[in-house]
Amino acid sequence: MRFKVLAWTAVAVSLSFGLLSARPVEAASLHRAPGAETTASIQTSRAMKAKRRAAAGATRHARQAPPRRAVAPVAVAAAPAASPYGWLVTVNAKGVLSPKFAGASRLGFAGYPTLSFRRPDAPVIWSSPDDSIDFALIRTERLALGPALNFRSGRSSKDNPELAGVHRTRWTLEGGVFADLWLLPNALRARAELRRGFRREDGLVASLGADYVTQVGAWTLAAGPRLKLADARFMRLHFGVTADDAARNPRFAAWRPGASLYAVGLYASATHRINDQWSYTLHGGYDRLRGSAAASPIVKQAGSRNQFTLGAILSYTFGW
């Protein structure tokens, strides 16, 4: 079963502004007392004599002291203004076309929103649209480690009549861990995920990939290979056919796959930044089923070895 939800999140952006006040300069009044002219003349004469003595002393000091090299003043850059926000929030509206079930030949649509948060002074870290939702508990310049969460849709004969009699698979949430390693800073990333569904029958699945990331004007482009592996429990659930399944639908012969590398592929994305608030991403991938997954009667009779994914993301960022 696939959830077909398209949600939009609207968030009001608060504006902050300051008011500068200026204080007028008041002119001072000068009052002249009787006899002030005579006193002022005497004080002026004494002041002129003192200035001449000071000038003569400065001349003698200049003759005795060695010349000094002029030093240019050092320009001090103004400190950057602090952000008025504690967090930058990004709202993503996502839509994706992907196989209706593992090994399907037809595509189904799913739409859903996501949120992400970062501090204003934190760098923007690139991620691929096919990454699971993750949170880095450990992050260095090159390495990130933490938990990951992924949604996997189910399969039923209600949506796929050709599978009548074959056991259904229920949707699940796969929890696990991820690791990102930047082999070349901001250019070449390797990623690994290990996840397990919360249901007993779900099994264990792993994904490995690498991406080359580059910037071309306002575009961020990325592409790289993908590998998908699974244990026997996962393979039997998604690609296996039990004896009861074969008895209910003779079209499908019994099949009991084992743990294997079940798909190899490629994923690519292109993100265009319109301004500081808006951006959009176009992405897509291709997987080729192999081994016991490709040999499954479900894939041969009711599906395809070629698995395609196409998607788009619209993102809006605001301060909070």
Range of the domain at 203: 128-308
- Which residues, at least 6 apart from 85, have a Cβ–Cβ distance to it below 8 Å? 120, 319, 320
pLDDT at 82: 61
Within-domain flag for 219: yes
For CA atoms 145, 149, 150, 154, the dihedral sign is positive
Q: Is 9 helix (H, G, I), strand (E, B) or coil?
A: coil
Whole-prediction pTM: 0.73
Within-domain flag for 107: no
Comparing C-alpha atoms, which of 215, 209, 173, 217 is closest to residue 190? 209
pLDDT at 148: 98
pLDDT at 53: 56
Per-residue b or e along 139-165, where b marks 16 or more CB atoms closer than 10 Å to that residue's CB: eeeeebeeebebebbbbbeebbeebee
Other C-beta atoms within 10 Å of 99: how many? Answer: 20
Question: Which residues are registered as beta bridge partners of 175?
Answer: 149, 196
C-alpha atoms less than 13 angstroms from C-alpha of 99 in its C-beta half-sphere: 22
Within-domain flag for 69: no
DSSP string, 41-57: HHHHHHHHHHHHHHHHH
Total structural domains within the chain? 1
Within-domain flag for 154: yes
Comparing C-alpha atoms, which of 308, 316, 317 is closest to residue 97? 308
Within-domain flag for 160: yes
pLDDT at 208: 98
Within-domain flag for 217: yes
Within-domain flag for 26: no
Q: In which residue ranges of the chain is pLDDT below 70?
A: 1-83
Within-domain flag for 80: no
